[in-house]
Chain A
Amino acid sequence: MLARMLAAALVLLAAAPLDAAQVVGGTLRPYWHVFIAYAVAWLVVLGWVVHIARRLGRLDRGGN
């Protein structure tokens, strides 16, 4: 009885990672691509804002 339960558990454990891998590889991964694409786009724009702010700060220091 115990051996059968162990065998069944092993089968389930062996099958579970396969399903998880399929989900990660086939469905979830593109979500990361979309997230990174939007995040990088706005981070680059934010970088320009910081660049402009630094130039303005340098002007303030130089002007005072």
Chain B
Amino acid sequence: MSRTSGGRTAPSVRGPARWAVVLGIVAGALILFFHWMVFFYVPTEASMGIVQRIFYVHVPAAWAGEMAFGIAAFCGGMYLWLGDERLDVAAETAAEGGMVFFTAALIAGPLWAKVAWGTYWTWEPRLTFSLLLWMIFLGYFLVRASIANKEQARRLSAIVAIVGALDIPLIHVSVNWLRSLHPEPVVLRQDGPQLDGRMLATLMVGLLAFTVVFFALFALRYGVGLLERTRPTDAPPEPDGSGLMMEES
């Protein structure tokens, strides 16, 4: 802990900064290796052809997004319980990362679907639950931005994150439990992975690369978030009253 010019106690950001640098270097190397695998190493799938390579970015992006939303919900829940502001910073950071990676997955998936299904979008269960998850976390940021009382905004957004995370299992079981057009899992199956060895290796490297990229940026953003809570910025002062900002006319 150190003292800032405003006299407030600032949490140490050396730890997150160090992690951001180390993970950033590892992430850069993994990204390069991952793209070499996708474009030069992995064989082209027999029935779908070149467009199947979207799978290697879609699945890791969806994984990183869902993991981030899960972390946001966990940290949000812990913030509700313990009231530690650092947990709220972590929840907000993870929710941001979740939006980033899940948006990438929601764009990559329809690009594959246009070639495979002939349409960018269809309201089948997994796609619908996925869009719902994205919209719930969009609501998370709307709640934080629209409520003037910061404490109230943080508590309500934590509840939104927990509700959003409840949708993640539904996304996964929807393929098996409901009539779904989305391809069934090819890795997490009871009878083992149904992928060629090189395809599985490429997917695993992709999952690792996206995970490390997420945690590198998470560490960086978390450090910035901690500094923002303790240092004065040019942002408007926080009002004392509670309620929505737009309620006065």
Contact = CB atoms under 8 A, between A and B. Distances in A.
Interface string B158-200: 0000000000000000000000000000000000000000000
Interface string A12-55: 00000000000000000111011011101100110111011001
A34 B35 CA distance: 12
A48 B100 CA distance: 7
- Secondary structure class of chain B's binding surface, majority of residues: helix
Given A33-B54, A37-B107, A38-B57, A48 B97 contact: yes
B61 interface: yes
A37 B228 contact: no
B50 A30 contact: yes
Nearest to A52: B221
A32 to B, nearest CB: 9
A56 interface: yes
B211 interface: no
A62 B224 contact: no
Interface stretch (B122-130, B137-145, B230-238): B230-238
Contacts of B234: 58, 61-62
Among B61, B224, B234, max chain A CB count under 10 A is at B224
Contacts of B57: 37-38, 41
Contact of B217 (A36, A38, A48, A58): A48
Contacts of A30: 49-51, 115
A50 B213 CA distance: 14
Contacts of B54: 33-34, 37
5 closest cross-chain pairs (CB), A and B: A62-B233, A41-B104, A30-B51, A37-B108, A33-B111
